[in-house]
Structure 1
Amino acid sequence: MVDWLLDTDSLQEFLEHLVEDALAVCDADGCGVTVQRRRRPLTVVSTGTMAGKLDEKQYGLGDGPCLQALRTGEVVHVRDVLREERWNSYPAYAAAHGVRSSLSLPIPVGTRTAGALNFYATTPDAFTDRDRLRLGEFAAQAGGGFALALRLADVEDFARDLQAAMLSRSVIDQAIGAVMQQRRCSADDAFALLREVSQETNTKLRDVCARLLTDISGRPPTPQPPLRPRP
């Protein structure tokens, strides 16, 4: 659901600033933002030398605190990886890379979880209950950024669909006019004839019209100019 997120530069910049601000209010030594892309987890923002490595380790295992937060929509708090028995070889890997505790918070977008905000620390019990509350606010802000990017993407998709519809309408209208002139018939009769050809040949109406106009003029039809926003 978040392929469009990775192509939104403003969202990327927003997440980078958000992560920096979040690290300033807690004792974490690194942070990563995990999202799901083409059904695979991906780190889109990472700070510190350890966050990216630990995220990738979890992706390789198919399990870990950040993936659990992403899948369940619940906060996952690891107080000390040396006392952790979940996630197979991940705790030992984290300890070997100097990480002793972590906090993974789901990033909500409406009723869904769009990703996870993952904090890593070199000391055990680095995250307090107050940290969970404060960092939860950052996760909510990230969700707001995701939701805004999604709304903008929906608007762009609608504009593209509308433009395509208008281009098709232009070609169809030109073809109706050509048939009216050739057959000396009404617009309704011309449209009915074109639709009949479309159905009989199992060809899209726009393609039938475009072919007709090309045969008449010797060149492809010229569509209406694209919509442009008002200044």
Structure 2
Amino acid sequence: MVSDAAESHLASAYGRLLTLVADSPHVDVFLDQVVRVAAEVVTPAVACGLTVRRDGGAFTVASSGDLAARGDEIQYGADEGPCLEALRRGRVVEVVDLREDTRWCRYREHALRLGVVSSLSLPMTVDGETVGALNLYATQPAAFTDTARRHAVAFTDQGAAALTVILRQADHALLHQQLTDAMTSRSVIDQALGVLMGQQRCTATEAFSLLRQASQHRNRKLRDVAAEIIKQVSGESPQPAPGFAVPRQHL
């Protein structure tokens, strides 16, 4: 019965992806929904982030929660970790218990302090090239069962297939702008979090909560509230993020 319910949930997620492709082909919207649906489908996951290549590096273009956003950033700062390995090697990377895993020393200590105990990172492949990695984070050890892993792989494959359709349908210049916009939003939010952490002497999680509350209270987008905070402090609008490196295939 549980298995049937899980399979039904996965099938429903596939339907939501197809609806997104048909009704909201904007890449920014699509990526944001992919991480949210993934966190729902793979039930042990607390949060999900999506990392993409950028000028030889990596950048988070969407995350379903602060745990994923901060977990990704720790890896970028350390230049190591499971999501970067999945992106660079094009294979699934699982962390069963980070407390006992010694593969990424620079990443491990900070991730544990954040609350990450296990994770699952899956490459997203478009036309034979790994363009991103879906990163699922959990706060308990061995969170991802065989069924959860199977669902994660299946969902990532479907997500990559849907993304391929969007990439092929999108105008090249428009696609580049949409992806750049997604990265700019993430960059602006991160800058505002740094400001709030300094002003309020709080953690990144607490700063994100304050930013989200302000967004909801003012009924404004998170990025717009973040940009306002930065401008109030610096007197200037936030600086844009570096451009997105579009995959080499013909679109």
**Class of the TM-score when normalised by the shorter of the 2 chains:** 0.5 to 0.7
Contact 2:39/2:64 (<8 A) preserved: no
1:19 aligned residue: 35
Contact 1:78/1:103 (<8 A) preserved: yes
2:48 aligned residue: 31
CA distance 1:80–1:155, shift in 2 (3 Å): closer
Per-residue deviation, 1:65: 0.2
Contact 1:16/1:45 (<8 A) preserved: yes
CA distance 1:57–1:9, shift in 2 (3 Å): farther
Per-residue deviation, 1:155: 6.8
1:97 aligned residue: 114
1:10 aligned partner, one-letter code: H
Per-residue deviation, 1:34: 0.3
How many Å separate the matches in 2 of 1:155 and 1:60?
30
1:34 aligned partner, one-letter code: T
What aligned pairs does 1:1-231 form with structure 2 within 5 A after superposition? 10-25=26-41, 26-153=43-170
Higher relative contact order (CA 8 A, sep 6+): 2
How many Å separate the matches in 1 of 2:63 and 2:92?
19
How many Å separate the matches in 2 of 1:23 and 1:73?
21
Per-residue deviation, 1:47: 1.5
1:93 aligned partner, one-letter code: H
Contact 1:81/1:91 (<8 A) preserved: yes
Q: Deviations over 1:167-213 (max 9, x none)?
A: xxxxxxxxxxxxxxxxxxxxxxxxxxxxxxxxxxxxxxxxxxxxxxx
Contact 1:15/1:45 (<8 A) preserved: yes
Say which SS state the counterpart of residue 61 (structure 2) adopts.
strand
In the superposition, the TM-score normalised over structure 2's length comes to 0.56
Q: Which moved more, 1:45-54 or 1:137-146?
A: 137-146
How many Å separate the matches in 2 of 1:77 and 1:146?
23
Say which SS state the counterpart of residue 84 (structure 1) adopts.
coil
In the superposition, the TM-score normalised over structure 1's length comes to 0.60
CA distance 1:122–1:155, shift in 2 (3 Å): closer
How many Å separate the matches in 2 of 1:28 and 1:128?
11
Structure 1 residue ranges without an equivalent (≥5): 1-7, 158-231
Q: Which moved more, 1:126-135 or 1:20-29?
A: 20-29
CA distance 1:65–1:155, shift in 2 (3 Å): closer
1:76 aligned partner, one-letter code: V
The higher radius of gyration belongs to: 1
Q: Percent identity?
A: 44
How many Å separate the matches in 1 of 2:161 and 2:137?
23
How many Å separate the matches in 2 of 1:73 and 1:103?
13
Contact 2:87/2:123 (<8 A) preserved: yes
Aligned length: 150
Q: Which moved more, 1:100-109 or 1:17-26?
A: 17-26
How many Å separate the matches in 2 of 1:90 and 1:61?
6
2:157 aligned partner, one-letter code: A
How many Å separate the matches in 2 of 1:145 and 1:70?
19
Per-residue deviation, 1:124: 0.6
Q: Deviations over 1:208-227 (max 9, x none)?
A: xxxxxxxxxxxxxxxxxxxx
Contact 2:80/2:106 (<8 A) preserved: no
